Amino acid sequence: MTDEYGCLIKKSNLVDEYEADLSSLNILDGIKFAVLASADFIANHPNKTLKCHANEDLKTLANTFELRNLKFI
């Protein structure tokens, strides 16, 4: 991931889990992050899922893409 968005991803020290808070991003930056993060996780963490905190508009838009390794909460 680029440094621009890398700061949004946090890895839990207790469990091997990744989370990103996209709630502060606008819809275009949010979907851009989601697509880039999905590609990055497929390449670097193929068995992991990134949990993304997002607003309803972003969740709806992201569901139109095949982002199987992202879970919107």
Q: Where are the domains of the chain?
A: 3-72
**DSSP, res 12:** -
Over its C-alpha atoms, the chain yields an Rg (Å, rounded) of 11
Instruction: State the pLDDT at residue 27.
Output: 93
Instruction: State the pLDDT at residue 47.
Output: 84
- pLDDT by 10s per residue, the chain, length 73: 445 556 667 665 555 678 899 999 999 999 999 999 889 888 888 888 889 999 999 999 999 988 888 999 8
Cβ atoms 12, 19 nearer than 8 A: yes
Distance of CA 22 to the CA centre of its chain: 8
Instruction: State the pLDDT at residue 5.
Output: 57
Residues in the chain, how many? 73
